[in-house]
């Protein structure tokens, strides 16, 4: 993990770049990773010290040249007020749910939707891995016990819990 993904450097950067927060008007947004239900985030508008936090780079693949093209997009000044250990549990539960067969059946094709316009190798490979994950009888991929009641469950599917034909709009 790089420093930019650790709590203290993020908090230091925010303290350096943000003048203040509008804590009176939180905004709930619902974001998805491309499949599965949306995850709720409570965001707050902030007053940036510079324009650095008002934009982001987005890379899209040009179908004609097959090259990534960088675009700068405006980002509204919205952010999380704090990073909390309870967030970790919330995110782990979300990821565990996304590993359920009712969500996993279309994962590979959702992940590589744009790339499949040129070549579907990545989507086919990930789809095969997902199918193997759901159908394996390998002990190493069976449910793992948790040693502490507060420790999040590590989700691994067994053949008896996998139903690869189960498709649900919940994911």
**What mean pLDDT, rounded, does the chain reach?**
77
- Predicted pLDDT at 150: 43
Q: Which range is least confidently modeled, 40-49, 88-97, 125-134?
A: 88-97
Dihedral angle computed from the Cα positions of residues 108, 112, 114 and 115, in that order, rounded to the nearest 10 degrees: -120
- Predicted pLDDT at 171: 56
DSSP calls for 151-167: SPPPP---TTT--TT--
Instruction: Give 11-60 pLDDT, tens digit per residue.
Output: 899 999 999 999 999 999 998 877 777 888 889 999 999 999 999 999 98
Tokens 């190798």 -> residue:
121
The residues spanned by each domain of the chain are 10-83, 87-171
CB-CB neighbours of 112 under 10 Å: 19
Q: If we measure between CA atoms, which residue out of 91, 92, 76, 88 comes closest to residue 7? A: 88
């Amino acid at each position: 993990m790089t420093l930019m993904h650790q709590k203290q450097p993020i908090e230091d950067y925010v303290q350096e770049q943000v003048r203040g927060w509008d804590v009176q008007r939180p905004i709930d947004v619902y974001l998805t990773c491309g499949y599965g239900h949306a995850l709720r985030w409570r965001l707050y508008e902030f007053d940036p010290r510079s324009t650095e936090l008002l934009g982001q780079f987005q890379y899209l693949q040009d179908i004609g040249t097959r090259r990534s093209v960088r675009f700068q997009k405006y980002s509204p000044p919205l952010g999380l007020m704090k990073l909390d250990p309870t967030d970790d549990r919330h995110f782990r539960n979300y990821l565990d749910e996304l590993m359920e067969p009712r969500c996993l059946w279309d994962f590979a094709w959702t992940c590589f939707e744009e790339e499949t316009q040129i070549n579907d190798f990545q989507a086919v490979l990930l789809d095969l891995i997902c199918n193997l994950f759901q159908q394996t009888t390998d002990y190493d991929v069976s449910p793992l016990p948790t040693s502490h009641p507060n420790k999040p469950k590590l989700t691994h599917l067994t053949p008896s819990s996998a139903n690869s034909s189960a498709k649900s709009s919940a994911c």
